[in-house]
Amino acid sequence: MSVFRLPGRPQAFLSSLPHFTPLARRMSTTRADLNSGPARLPELPRLPVPPLEQSVKLYLRSIAPLLLQSSGSDFEKEYQRREVWASELCAPGGLGERLQNRLIDIDRSSPNNWLDDNYWIKLAYHSARSPLPVNSNWWILLKHDRDIPAAVIEGAPETGRFTDWQLRRAATLIHRFMIFKGMLDRQEIIPDSSRSARWQRHWILDSLYGITRVPRKPHDHLNIPKRTSRHAIILARGHIYSLDILAPDHSPLPAKQIEANLWSIVNHVTLHPAAIPIGSLTGLDRDRWTDAREHLLSLDSTVNRDSLSVIEDGLFALCLDDSTRPAGLQGHIRTASTNYDGHNRWFDKSFSFIVENNSRASVLGEHSPCDALIAAIITDFVLAEGVGPGLCDPTVKAASHDSENLGWKKLEWVTDQRISQFIQDSKSTVEAISKDSDCDLLIFDKYGTDYIKRSVRHSPDAYIQMAIQLAWFRQVGTVVSTYETGLTRLFKHGRTETIRTLSSESYAWVKAMDSEEDCHLIYNLFIQAISAHNSYTKKASLGRAFDRHFLGLRLQHRPSEDGTLPELFTDPVFAESSEWQLSTSGISAGERFIGTGFGCFGRGYGINYLVAPSRITFGIETKHSDPRTSASQFSEHLSQALIDIRILCERATGKRPYSSPSPDSMRSESSNYRTKKCENSSAAPFPSFHHRMILSVPSFVYLGFFFLYDSPTTTHCIKKIP
């Protein structure tokens, strides 16, 4: 669950570090302000409880396109019914006021905020009983280390062996990961000198290092990290080890020492028979994993408890795979997301490095403690330096045989046939999830943020969200509720809020894109859709959206005292508006990442995107079992949508940036589009359908639009051939 908001001014980050370049400044959803300086700000403000009427009005506007699509000529009547229900909910002394007051009381008694302290993690994540792979885990595919010879990366080492470059890269990743933590602990980076930095420090220190999700009925919980932990968890061929990666003074161990220790571990692995892969149990559904864990503890409450505690307290996990399967992009995605059958993973850890035996690497994370943005910030730092030039040092490997105490310990288990059956069930479960998961990675390299910001001067995030809307509309023929994750990072322990991308403005625009309307009108509708998205984004970042608020209100309902829920909440349209068939999120531009991904919400698509100056990368996930969807087909629609939007902008404005690809050259790659001459039209710049309480941008914006963007009669717009 794809995170993030609010633009900030550029800041220097870690400029003193060699070879480090900051995360590219991203669109408003993902850019992190990594500020520095000695000043300390006052405590972050509390997440507000929005006014009831404000949330209800915003909700009514959000469902207008769904009502218009389903009701047609009855739209006015259906909309007025919801207005009546809204008035009843907001009536003085009514049920809505009681629910609001109860929520305010909850907030006043909460140490940080009403949402995070009481509800969010439990309801959004830990009450779900589905297996974690794909459903709750996210993944990041890392680019190859530039210091490792291409022949190593392109090769396919023999399955069943660990390699020099694999362990060298793993040691480097660990060392850099712990350098970041040390600098963070000392406030050498991200000091408490800005609100954004304080927000980041909380989520990194308290929600990433040393965090593990632990199964429990009826809902899971997160273990409390120990500040004294100095070890990581190493998984190899199903064996699990604890490895010290920090010195007693908590300084990071040198990379060469970590490499030698890893060699000592894999040497131990090769000398012992295959282990019982206890880590596979974490791929079960959460109730079955709870049963398996409790049975494991009942077999030996000392040995098994000690091993589980070591894993849960570990700062992170490293998964060393003795194979690379297969070498292509799909193989990389499968290895990162599920490892096909869940072998050699601990899916409950908040952060895991995965390194295959040709040195290909990825990151796997558990979503509940923190979002992928936080991991992306750290991983980008980790990858800023490679393993270093030169061949692998044979003395490092030799040292692994000489030392008697290399700071590692093999975790032991007492098991029985029932545990073996649980493991087999888990492998079957994860294998089925992996086979049903339809993943694709779209690397769109026609343009990126440079063009969007400097040439057409639009918000890159809103621009991309509109492309996603158009791609869905062309593939399915309807519009659907769309979730984009917004960050409430301005607030103490703030996390996320829903940005509802679907709007009446976006609906009007996607319908017009393939119509015979004049391109000026279509472009005007596009600008309105962009403006509506930017407006909602700002509301979400300021804690003024309504999805979290409505959740809080419904949780205050007491059937014995209040009767039935308000009709506004039992309305089928309310449920439809919260079924996120497009679940989207962006993370930092990540020049060192190949791509990212996460699972879709029920049915539809899960879409994570990275935006760089000259390209946009989309990780797209859906299910083979959903007959309406196809990741590869959606990729094609999305690529074409991005091309068509650019052509629309340039035809309507008469602008094309110097040295950029021409619209004609981009269009020539597709055979089902043609140009149509734009006409100077006196048609009103508003859609003809009902727009009371729908079009939200003030009229003066539109009055200034044609002054700024009117274009010559010689420009063209794109039209789809019937």
Q: Which positions are catalytic? A: 367
Q: Which residue has the tokens 């290399």?
A: 406
The rounded distance, in Å, linking the Cα atoms of 377 and 13 is 11
Spatial neighbors of 592 by CB under 8 A, at least 6 apart, are 142, 143, 379, 380, 383, 384
- Please say whether the beta carbons of 407 and 261 come within 8 A: yes
The rounded distance, in Å, linking the Cα atoms of 200 and 34 is 8
Q: Which of 364, 372, 368 is nearest to 338 (CA)?
A: 364
Q: Which of 267, 264, 277, 282 is nearest to 237 (CA)?
A: 277
Q: Which of 30, 99, 103, 90 is nearest to 59 (CA)?
A: 90
Tokens standing for residue 650: 């340039």
* Partner residues linked to 610 by β-bridges: 587, 617
Task: Give the DSSP letter string of 542-585.
Answer: TT--SHHHHHHHHHT--HHHH-SPPHHHHSHHHHHHT--SEEEE
**Ramachandran region of residue 253, left (φ > 0), alpha (ψ -120 to 50) or beta?**
beta
Cis peptide before 149 (omega within 30 of 0): no
Tokens standing for residue 506: 């976006």
What Cα–Cα distance (Å) separates residue 368 from each residue in 337, 362, 389, 663? 16, 19, 38, 43
* Strand 716-720 relative to strand 673-677, pairing: antiparallel
Q: Which of 487, 474, 482, 514 is nearest to 638 (CA)?
A: 474
* Partner residues linked to 364 by β-bridges: 139, 352
Spatial neighbors of 648 by CB under 8 A, at least 6 apart, are 513, 519, 522, 523, 526, 717, 718
Q: Which of 453, 437, 383 is nearest to 180 (CA)?
A: 383
Burial 303-341 (b: 16+ CB within 10 A, else e): ebeebbebbbbbbbbbbbbbbbbeeeeeebbbbbbbbeb
